[in-house]
Amino acid sequence: MSLGYVVRIYSLVRGLLCVYCIKKDSGWVLTLTPLVAIRALLKKWWWVTAVIIVGLLGVALQHRSISFILDILFERGTVYDPFNIRTGVFLSVTVFVQAVMLYLPLAILGFVSLIRNRRWLLLSSLFVVSALFILFHLIFYQRILLFMDLALLPFAAWALTALLQSARKLIRAAVTTVLLVALGTLQFSNILTRQPSLPPVLFDEILSLQRLPPDSKVLVTDSYYGPWVYGYSNQTAIAPGLFHDEWTYEQWVIYWSADANKKALLLKHHEPPLYIFSTNTRPDEYASPCFDQQSRYVIAFRCSE
């Protein structure tokens, strides 16, 4: 092989490896060596390098958890999603639309007008991306409803302001007064007439948990009531898939179907004092000396190690 072929091959390899360019009077040219190019690239894009390194470390340390979440989010394999993680577990789209219906037409009007005038492009991007997540039910799309709400409000405010500015002064004052009175009436009416979403008996039972000994743990057997117990009991709440839960779904299935003795074996490793909040108890489900029925829905566990 002649020296010319070697030089050409070296130049070709150098050109492929050398990804960083510098500009001279004659135009864009490659730097002299790949090492110089890599060093310059790392110097200029140090933050990209830092993000990549941190990301790789995170994946290496949490690869099992990441793999499990990805299986759920993209519905891979046979992973069961009992707690509906993929949706984000938040407001439904129907409830959200009902909540924003009052200003949704104004928001759409403001969005179209500002896009036509090429203004507020960054905020418009937030609106478009949020809409895509919601329309196509992408991962955590229910949580994106909050960002959609934040994106709608400025557009609605701009459209309302533009409409008021184009009206006469008396009409502007009348519309503003009507809006303020209407919103104030709705708000105070909601405050005065709103009832708890739980039946009063259940809500009183949850409030009674405040009288338990300090640092008590409350095992809630139904995740629906977990947030209520967490918010109103002033105790440490443990619920399926929520808060301080250390069990897998399979362990919860075993607990739900177990008899009193098997339940006691599963619970004995929890630190005392431990109480159980159960709203759907089978007859004799807790018929064991380890369990003490405190009230209709509250059961004390007495056999912790």
State how far the Cα of 234 lies from the Cα of 220, in Å rounded to an integer.
14
Alpha helix positions (H), 117-199: 121-135, 141-165, 169-193
- Provide the whole-model pTM: 0.48
Both tokens of 205, joined, read: 């039972």
43 vs 184, more confident:
184
Residues 255-271 have pLDDT tens digits of 998 999 999 999 988 88
Query: H or E element: which one contains 44?
Result: helix 34-44
Q: What is the pLDDT of residue 22?
A: 45
| CATH code of the domain occupying 200-301 | 3.40.1380
Do 301 and 270 form a contact (C-beta atoms < 8 A)? yes
Average of per-residue pLDDT values in the chain: 78
pLDDT of residue 95 exceeding 90: no
Q: What is the pLDDT of residue 20?
A: 42
State how far the Cα of 214 lies from the Cα of 245, in Å rounded to an integer.
19
pLDDT of residue 32 exceeding 50: no
Q: How many CB atoms lie within 10 A of CB 109?
A: 17
Comma-separated ranges of CATH 3.40.1380 domains in the chain: 200-301
Q: What is the pLDDT of residue 4?
A: 56
